[in-house]
Structure 1
Amino acid sequence: MFYSTDTNAHGLPHDPFKAIVSPRPIGWIGSRSARGRDNLAPYSFFNAVSSVPPVVMFSSDHVKDSLRNIEETGVFTVNLASRDLAEQMNATSASLEHGESEFEAAGLASVTGKLVDAPYVGEAYAVLECRLTGIMAPPTLEGAVTHSRMVFGQVVAIHIKDEALTGDGRLDMGKVRPLARLGYRDYCDGGDVFEMVRPR
């Protein structure tokens, strides 16, 4: 099959775009408003975009509490969404009343970062503490501004639980089994690990 995204006339019961661009790691974003209210939300448009310095990005289809909080404070955390926290991660995607804590609703511990004033998930195997470096709206081919907002943050500190490390000091992905979003309502985890060496 073939179709143009101008019309999106694919004839399928569901849009396949997000299923094709997958698996997508989940950015489980912790933020705190200027008034001190904690927020936790999962974003499947997320990834690392630089290693030196370490920079991550997540994108929101429209303005949500996470974006508002980060605009106010300039900081946020990224929590590793592992298979054992899948149900809690999913619970934090619920639409709660403004100011109601997703940490409390999902039964998760909210811990304040060491270098940033933003909450992170105490149960997470790994956490990135980030400072905002920029927010942008992706443009269209016509130069219009989309409703999406891309949030970039430089990682200034990292937490890793000791039990998540192997004997040779690697993050044990077989144990952690990081969650990723597929299309539709589907998820997968990174528990099926194999190694390949890049050819010279």
Structure 2
Amino acid sequence: MKFDPATVRDPLPLSAFENCVVPRPIAWLSSRSADGVENLAPFSQFQVLTFDPPTVMFSANRHPDGRRKDTVVNAEETGWFVYNLATWDLREAVNITAMTLPPGESEFDRVGVTRTYAELSPLPMVAESPVHFECRYLSTTHLPGGSQVGTADVVFGRVERIHIDDDALTDDGRLDVRRIRPIARLGFNEYTVVADSFEMRVPGGGVVDARGRLEQPG
């Protein structure tokens, strides 16, 4: 099967594009509006961009009426957003926070997770999540789409502080994915969970970067 997505209707009953780029990390992002409303929403179009300095991005498609997502506006207005790691135990709360709530209502109140607060800004964080990144807003790139929903705002942020629950680490200092079970997005309404891992080393030993760490491709 081959097709041009710009000119041919998707031949699959569900989006071929979204079903083939998997799994996608879920960024459960908390933010705060200029007038103090605390927001919490999941984004599966999220990625780490570089490590020096640690930099991330998320892409938020607009509402059908063209409005931008609250998380985008909040990051721009306050200069901050927080990444909370989405895990198996938190999956139902993550799913509920994908809902569009009335103005002035906080997802934190809707799902009942515990608030804790960032150190560098007055932003809320999900206390039950084992990992948090306090991200300073850098910039937004607007990607025009073929529809209002297809239009996206890509937000870039620099990670200024990292919080990791000590209980989420293995004895050798790695994130214990088998225990905390991070979740990720597949196509349409399907998700997966990271419950196992394996190790591979680049032939020849890889390349040591400027900070003395082994650099692996990809």
Name the TM-score, length of structure 1 as normaliser. 0.93
Q: Distance in 1 between matches of 2:33 and 2:89?
A: 28
* Structure 1 residues 1-150: aligned runs within 5 Å: 1-62=1-62, 63-138=68-143, 147-150=151-154
Distance in 1 (alpha carbons) for counterparts of 2:138 and 2:203: 35
CA deviation string 1:134-175 (max 9, x = no partner): 1111368xxxxx720000000000111111011111111111
What's the % identity of the aligned pairs?
A: 45
Distance 1:117 1:2 in 2: 49
Aligned residues: 195
**Pick aligned residue for 2:176 from 165, 172, 176:** 172
Say if 1:116 and 1:130, in contact at 8 Å, map to a contact too. no
**TM-score calculated relative to the size of structure 2:** 0.86
Counterpart residue number, 1:143: none
**Aligned-partner Cα distance in 1 for 2:17–2:98:** 21
**What runs of 5+ residues in structure 2 fail to find an aligned partner?**
63-67, 205-218
Give RMSD over aligned pairs: 1.3
Paired with 2:82 and 2:10, the residues of 1 have a C-alpha distance of 38
1:181 is aligned to 185
- Are 1:198 and 2:191 an aligned pair? no
Amino acid across the alignment from 1:177: R
What SS does structure 1 have at the residue aligned with 2:14?
coil
CA shift digits 1:56-91 (9 cap, x unpaired)? 100001111111111110101000001111111111
* 1:6 positional shift: 1.6
Contact kept in structure 1, 2:178 and 2:194, CA below 8 Å: yes
Q: 1:168 to 1:68 in 2, by over 3 A?
A: same
* Structure 1 residues without counterparts, runs of 5 or longer: 141-145
